């Protein structure tokens, strides 16, 4: 088996090709977030309930002692201030996007995949940089067997057609060599287009809210999606283990796609 595939299988179920991922890396850009003030104690209960956990490079070291039943480590390989809103303590005047890690660094951290943002709707150079990063990290990842997952973020002020912008981001990510993509949920038709483009490459959906997650996940799984990609808002939920158990059951026990 190709070593990229080997690592992908560490966080995608080998029987159903599905998975539940939690992105807990936002502190890298947004600081201490509600529920994640103490990182290790916050994520420890999550580990046995999900297939993959995304952390920043620095927090990755706090996940030692994981068992085979625990989540695989995915490491965030870039930084951006684009996620900061106008109310943030340091609102961005100009959007920046900086690569932090290469695939060899991720290997050293024991990661099963690299995760980067693909930012759409900002200055042209930001998009060009995302494309460049995707291609380079994919090619270098191939040499060392490190998969690249692209987290499509169509959040810039220039986005006119939200669903088409997501599709564009997926197209660029795939053409650049992504081994998986995480996309904001927009609608069934758009997701169908994305799956057609992906042609077997794993696609996770990022729900519009925790409340809508189950419905959107149901649609995505039925159409052939890989699973769910939850962000830091998960950690504001009252009963996180119950929420994750519910999603885990839905993902790994729902009937195969149509």
Q: Which pair of tokens denotes residue 9?
A: 């299988």
Query: Are the beta carbons of 248 and 20 closer than 8 angstroms?
Result: yes
Q: Does 142 bind other proteins (CB under 8 A)?
A: yes
Query: Are the beta carbons of 74 and 113 closer than 8 angstroms?
Result: yes
| Residues in 164-183 that interact with other proteins by CB under 8 A | 164-165, 167-168, 171-178
Task: Write down the H helix ranges in 201-256.
Answer: 210-223, 240-253
Q: Does 51 bind other proteins (CB under 8 A)?
A: no
Q: How far is the CB of 109 from other proteins (least distance, A)?
A: 24
Q: Can you tell me which of 52, 121, 207, 225 binds other proteins, judged by CB under 8 A?
A: 121
Coil, strand, or helix at residue 142?
helix
Nearer to other proteins, 38 or 192 (CB): 192
Distance CA 194, CA 164 (A): 10
Q: Which pair of tokens denotes residue 94?
A: 């100009």
Q: Does 188 bind other proteins (CB under 8 A)?
A: no
Distance CA 102, CA 104 (A): 5
Q: How far is the CB of 170 from other proteins (least distance, A)?
A: 8
Q: How far is the CB of 167 from other proteins (least distance, A)?
A: 5
Nearer to other proteins, 193 or 254 (CB): 193
Q: Can you tell me which of 10, 51, 127, 151 binds other proteins, judged by CB under 8 A?
A: 127
Coil, strand, or helix at residue 80?
strand
Nearer to other proteins, 159 or 223 (CB): 159
Nearer to other proteins, 106 or 120 (CB): 120
Count of residues binding other proteins (CB under 8 A)?
37
Distance CA 91, CA 98 (A): 17
What number of helices (H) and strands (E) belong to the chain?
10, 10
Q: Can you tell me which of 100, 109, 144, 159 binds other proteins, judged by CB under 8 A?
A: 159
Q: How far is the CB of 144 from other proteins (least distance, A)?
A: 13
Q: Does 230 bind other proteins (CB under 8 A)?
A: no
Q: Does 217 bind other proteins (CB under 8 A)?
A: no
Coil, strand, or helix at residue 230?
strand
Among the residue ranges 19-27, 62-70, 154-162, 246-254, the one whose residues contact other proteins (CB under 8 A): 154-162
Give rounded-to-5 percent helix, strand, coil for the chain.
45, 20, 40
The phi-psi region of residue 254 (left if phi > 0; otherwise alpha if psi is between -120 and 50; otherwise beta) is beta
Binding residues for other proteins (CB under 8 A): 120-121, 124-125, 127-128, 131-132, 134-136, 138-139, 142, 154, 156, 158-161, 164-165, 167-168, 171-178, 193, 196-197, 199, 201
């Amino acid at each position: 088996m190709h070593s990229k595939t080997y690592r992908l299988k560490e966080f995608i179920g080998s029987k159903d090709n599905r998975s539940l991922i939690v992105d807990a890396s936002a502190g890298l850009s947004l600081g201490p977030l509600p529920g994640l003030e103490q990182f290790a104690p916050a994520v420890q209960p999550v580990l046995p309930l999900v297939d993959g956990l995304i952390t920043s490079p620095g927090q990755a070291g706090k996940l030692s002692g994981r068992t085979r039943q625990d989540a695989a480590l995915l490491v965030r390989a870039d930084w951006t201030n684009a996620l900061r809103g106008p109310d943030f303590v340091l609102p961005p005047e100009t959007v920046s996007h900086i690569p932090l890690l290469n695939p060899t660094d991720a290997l050293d951290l024991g990661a099963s995949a690299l995760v980067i943002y693909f930012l759409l709707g900002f200055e042209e150079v930001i998009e060009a940089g995302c494309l460049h990063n995707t291609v380079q990290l994919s090619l270098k990842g191939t040499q060392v067997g490190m998969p690249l997952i692209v987290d499509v973020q169509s959040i810039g002020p220039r986005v006119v057609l939200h669903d088409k912008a997501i599709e564009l981001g997926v197209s660029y990510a795939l053409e650049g060599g992504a081994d998986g993509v995480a996309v904001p949920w927009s609608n069934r038709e758009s997701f169908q287009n994305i799956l057609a483009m992906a042609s077997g490459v794993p696609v996770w959906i990022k729900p519009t809210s925790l409340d809508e997650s189950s419905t959107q996940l149901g649609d995505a799984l039925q159409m052939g999606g890989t699973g769910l990609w939850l962000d830091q808002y998960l950690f504001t939920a009252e009963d996180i283990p119950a929420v994750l158990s519910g999603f885990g059951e839905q993902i790994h026990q729902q009937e195969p796609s149509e």
